[in-house]
Amino acid sequence: MSPTSAALGGSWTHSFEEDEAGVQVYRPTHSFAFPPSRRGRETLEFGNEGELAMGAPGPDDRPRPQARATALGMNRYRVSGTAAQPGQVIEIVEATPEVLKLRFV
Amino acid sequence: MKSKKSKEQGPTEEETTMPGATMTGSEEAQHANGKVRDASDVMSATDDSSGMPGGLTAAPESEGGTDMPGADGGGMSAGGANGAGDGGSSGDGGQPRSRTCATMDVHRRLLSQRPDYVRARAAIETHALAYERGERSALRTGVTRIPVVVHVVWNTASQNISDAQIASQIDVLNRDFRRTNPDVASTPAVFLPLATDARVEFFLATVSPNGTPTNGIERRQTTVTSFSSNDAVKSQATGGLDAWDANHYLNIWVCQLGGGLLGYAQFPGGSAATDGVVILQSAFGITGTAAAPFDLGRTATHEIGHWLNLNHIWGDDGTGCTGTDNVADTPNQGGPNAGTPAFPHVSCSNGPNGDLFMNYMDYVDDRAMFMFTAGQVARMQACLDGPRVAIGLGAGAPRPSSSPVVAWDANRLDVFVVGTDRALYHKWWNGTAWGPSVTGYEAMGGVCTSAPQVVAWGPQRLDVFVTGTNSALFHKWWNGSAWGPAVTGYESLGGICVGDPRIVSWDPNRLDVFVLGTNRALFHKWWNGSAWGPSVNGYESLGGVCVGQPEIVSWGPNRLDVFVVGTDRALYHKWWDGTRWGPSLTGYERLGGVCMSAPRAVAWGANRLDVFVVGTDGALYHKWWDGSAWGPSLNGYERMGGVCVGDPEAVAWGPNRLDLFVIGTDSGLYHKWWNGAAWGPSLTGYEAMGGTCTSSPRVVAWGANRLDVFVTGTDSALYHKWWNGSAWGPSLTGYEGLGGVITTFRRRREMIEPSIPAMQPDLTLTMGALRA
């Protein structure tokens, strides 16, 4: 196991205020004090089997399931897509108990 | 009454044809048993004249705001008084809540709801599209006033926001949804013409679902430190507070939300138990805990936009240019805007003016959003005509005048009759069964000389009026838990009344009562929530010399329209506009015609009136106020055929919908309807509904596309039939027998003539004397 994989579990919420160039920053959904935001926040939910459920704010402003991603290995996930629009690949570039950073490959 | 029915009544089955089938000749039996005649056979035998007979000839007075002949004032007197009390209730408690994944909860809930929800949403979108395309226009012509309940669910004391903070939010909504927010002027000039009044207002509810007075605010301390979007805040069992009836209230939950969530909504078409909006306590209102940049109350404006079926302005497609908000007059826009953008912000080739980021349905800060567009208003009005058709039609909405039959809630009926002992009797449908039994009645005492007249100004509230043997007016009420002043007691309200009193309630805890005095002038008294005006026993004289019964209707708060027939048998009208009587305190507007029945009026929307009378040829005649003029003309009437016996009945179960019921010369019940576009079955045709009726019909609509019709049969028992939205029950021409021996339900009488006895001083046993 890679040193970062231990943190790949639980629920993470997009702390977009902290985004860096090309990198999205996520914080633990239930313990981080997110500032109020009209823009809803994307979520990541890691399952026990390595699967990843992605949520995004819906038309009623509450998070709703948006896509699922399958683990490719090496901290990479392919987001579900369609034949016409193949899913993107994301890579977790940093994962600690306090922060998770990812980028689209 | 209950005891007599067993020996006097024939029909005992719950579903039976009208008593004429068993009590009278075979001809009627055939008819009652469902040998449906062509409506025109019976109703249109003399249909060939046009124009209301005499409508233009019997006009001794000048037109317009003229006094009715012989107007005179006079005191009415005598009686005692009484009062009532009420109680409230509150709940509390909390329990630990296991932390679950909000996203997955939403996912599971959506999955479980999907088939119904998807179907409902599709129908709502189709309906909204017709409004957006201009194929349909809003049926609610005025301002819809929506009662609001705010559920404050707090964990720390600071989250228990003040009443003032809540009031400040209501004020914001009433500015934003009426386009009276001062910052609308900040809209860029090119977009300003789009900024539109949504014609929706909000007020904290004054009556709770159980009928008790309320300030529209519920509070609970919870152990939940912060809620997510999983709707736990909407249930007592999960640390929140339960929703109030979503058909009648906008539910707003105010709480601590986790994850930086400002608020979320539920679109129309979802579960009633979770219907409403949830707002972060520090993003609610403009004072108290409200914190910048979400301290101008716009989170609630935005979420209620969703609740009224508005989509995000960029179309919820991420940052793409293919999504749509299903509104034509909003520019195509890429993704959401945030903060306080500078104009213009161009996306999706929408230059030079760019995004409509100052719209309430974008994601900008409170101080940067300040308008809805006309297209968005059309979509919200479509919602109010469609999935939220009942909202705002309670308090402050058009109210029918009193009747022996009322419905204070969906699937609730209360029926009042006078028995052979002239006492008042009551029965009710509670949604599942008739009480006290199918054919039984609750005895309510008194000696009544009028038909009972009842109004319900809120859930669990009934106010019953009758006249006693001294011709004085008497009143009793149900407050949700008990009858006042007692089950068989009455409050005396003085006066010497001719005929039935008529009552209308234009607001919770407001009653306006109209009676005719012995001089046949119209008299008025009112309950303002704390006292009777002008006094317990006093009346305000409104002049006139009236033949027959007055008709009252209220199309909005503090609005009354009164119709009477004058001695020349023309129809006369007067109105209360909130500050004064028109055309004058004792004057009347003459509306022509020669009326052989009492007028029946309904208001299916604000500033809309439809009045029906029977003419000298027995046909039904119609005239209407469309908000600006009387149709077909000030003195003219639309002829609707038929040969009617007694007074017509008219109800409206929704905007631009009318259902009319009359009794034909064969004593059968007949029905016709206006569906918003045309009269059914035809302008002068009627649907035959069987029966041999000995009273005029009484009809109540407790919901959209629902009708309950009550008549008495030849055995003097009460009979019922209903329209459930798709069919007549128990059958087109069949009736449900409800027992009793009824002497006064709604008299199928001729017009009260001027020679009617004024009073009966020899009868001294009054209703008041029977007070328990």
CA B387, B389, B390, B394 dihedral sign is positive
pLDDT grade for B110, boundaries at 50, 70 and 90: low
Residue with tokens 């940093």: A94
pLDDT tens track for A83-98? 666 778 999 999 999 9
Smallest Cβ–Cβ distance between B106 and the set A11, A30, A63 belongs to A63
> Mind telling me the catalytic residues of B?
303
Smallest Cα distance from A13 to chain B, Å: 7
Smallest Cα distance from A76 to chain B, Å: 22
Chain A residues with CB under 8 Å of a chain B CB are 11, 13, 29-30, 34-41, 43, 45, 53, 55, 58-65
List, in sequence order, every beta strand (DSSP E) within B109-143: none
pLDDT grade for B82, boundaries at 50, 70 and 90: very low
Q: Work out the percent of chain B whose per-residue pLDDT is above 70.
A: 79
- Angle, to 10 degrees, between the axis of helix B298-307 and the axis of helix B163-176? 60
| Model confidence at B27: pLDDT above 70 | no
Tokens of B430: 């509670």
Q: What is the dihedral of CA B103, B109, B115, B120, to 10 degrees?
A: -90
Report the C-alpha gap between B240 and B97 in whole angstroms.
10
Smallest Cβ–Cβ distance between A63 and the set B99, B229, B312 belongs to B229
Beta carbons of A39 and B265 less than 8 Å apart: no
Report the C-alpha gap between B745 and B474 in whole angstroms.
17
B114 CB near a chain A CB, below 8 Å?
A: no
- Residue B559: the pLDDT is 86
pLDDT grade for A82, boundaries at 50, 70 and 90: low
Tokens of B449: 């000389």
Q: Which residues of chain A are within 8 Å of residue B274 when distances are taken between CB atoms?
A: none
ipTM: 0.89
| Model confidence at A4: pLDDT above 80 | no
Report the C-alpha gap between B266 and B117 in whole angstroms.
12
Q: Look at B106-115, B188-197, B244-253, B306-315 and tell me which has the smallest mean pLDDT.
A: B106-115
Beta carbons of B267 and A58 less than 8 Å apart: no
| Model confidence at B99: pLDDT above 50 | no
Would you tell me which residues 292-331 of chain B have a C-beta closer than 8 angstroms to some C-beta of chain A?
294, 299, 302-303, 306, 311-312, 316
Q: Which residues of chain A are within 8 Å of residue B107 when distances are taken between CB atoms?
A: 64-65
Q: Look at B502-516, B656-670, B751-765 and tell me which has the smallest mean pLDDT.
A: B751-765
pLDDT tens track for B263-299? 999 999 999 999 999 999 999 999 999 999 999 999 9
B730 cis-preceded (ω within 30 degrees of 0)? yes
| Residue of chain A minimizing CA distance to B309 | A60
Q: Which residues of chain B are within 8 Å of residue A55 when distances are taken between CB atoms?
A: 103
B234 CB near a chain A CB, below 8 Å?
A: no
Smallest Cβ–Cβ distance between B336 and the set A29, A36, A39 belongs to A39
pLDDT grade for B109, boundaries at 50, 70 and 90: low
- Best mean pLDDT range from A20-24, B128-132, B601-605: A20-24
pLDDT tens track for B534-546? 999 999 999 999 9
Q: Region B581-609: what's the mean pLDDT? A: 91
| Residue of chain B minimizing CA distance to A14 | B259
Q: Which residues of chain B are within 8 Å of residue A42 when distances are taken between CB atoms?
A: none
- Residue B754: the pLDDT is 32
Q: Look at B85-89, B275-279, B671-675 and tell me which has the smallest mean pLDDT.
A: B85-89
Q: How far is CA B684 from CA B273, B604, B619, B679, in A?
A: 44, 21, 9, 8
pLDDT grade for B375, boundaries at 50, 70 and 90: very high
pLDDT grade for B398, boundaries at 50, 70 and 90: low
- Residue A81: the pLDDT is 74
Q: Work out the percent of chain B whose per-residue pLDDT is above 90.
A: 62
Beta carbons of A38 and B302 less than 8 Å apart: yes
Q: Which residues of chain A are within 8 Å of residue B283 when distances are taken between CB atoms?
A: 36
Q: Which residues of chain A are within 8 Å of residue B265 when distances are taken between CB atoms?
A: 60-62
- pTM as predicted: 0.56
Beta carbons of A45 and B311 less than 8 Å apart: no
Beta carbons of B106 and A64 less than 8 Å apart: yes
- Residue B62: the pLDDT is 30
Interface test mutation site (partner B, options A27, A60, A66, max chain B beta carbons within 10 A): A60
Higher pLDDT, B508 or B713: B713
pLDDT grade for B393, boundaries at 50, 70 and 90: low
pLDDT tens track for B436-479? 999 999 999 999 999 999 998 876 789 999 999 999 999 999 98
Beta carbons of A35 and B260 less than 8 Å apart: yes
- Residue B581: the pLDDT is 95
pLDDT tens track for B413-426? 999 999 989 999 99
The β-bridge partners of B428 are B414, B435
pLDDT tens track for A13-56? 999 999 999 999 999 998 999 999 999 899 999 887 778 899 98
Smallest Cα distance from B706 to chain A, Å: 32
Q: Look at A46-50, B97-101, B233-237, B493-497 and tell me which has the smallest mean pLDDT.
A: B97-101
Report the C-alpha gap between B296 and B198 in whole angstroms.
19
- Residue B399: the pLDDT is 65
Q: Region B593-613: what's the mean pLDDT? A: 90
Apex A55 CA angle, A51 and A57, nearest 5: 180
Beta carbons of B102 and A39 less than 8 Å apart: no
Beta carbons of A11 and B103 less than 8 Å apart: yes
| Model confidence at B46: pLDDT above 50 | no
Q: Region B559-564: what's the mean pLDDT? A: 93
Higher pLDDT, A7 or B632: B632
Smallest Cα distance from B106 to chain A, Å: 6
**B364 backbone φψ class: left, alpha, beta (φ>0; ψ -120 to 50):** beta
Q: Region B103-123: what's the mean pLDDT? A: 65
Tell me which residue of B308, B280, B306, B311 sits closest to B295, measured CA to CA.
B280
8 A C-beta contact, residue B521 and residue B496: no
Count residue pairs from A and B with Cβ separation < 8 A: 81
- Residue B358: the pLDDT is 98
Apex B222 CA angle, B207 and B202, nearest 5: 30
| Model confidence at B97: pLDDT above 50 | no
The DSSP code for B134 is T
The β-bridge partners of B463 are B455, B477
Tokens of B561: 């329209």
Report the C-alpha gap between B597 and B275 in whole angstroms.
45
Helix, strand or coil for residue A45? strand
- Residue A80: the pLDDT is 83
8 A C-beta contact, residue B152 and residue B392: no
Mean pLDDT for chain B?
81
Report the C-alpha gap between B652 and B658 in whole angstroms.
5
Tell me how far apart the terminal alpha carbons of chain A are, to the nearest angstrom.
Answer: 22
Beta carbons of A39 and B266 less than 8 Å apart: no
- Residue B120: the pLDDT is 86
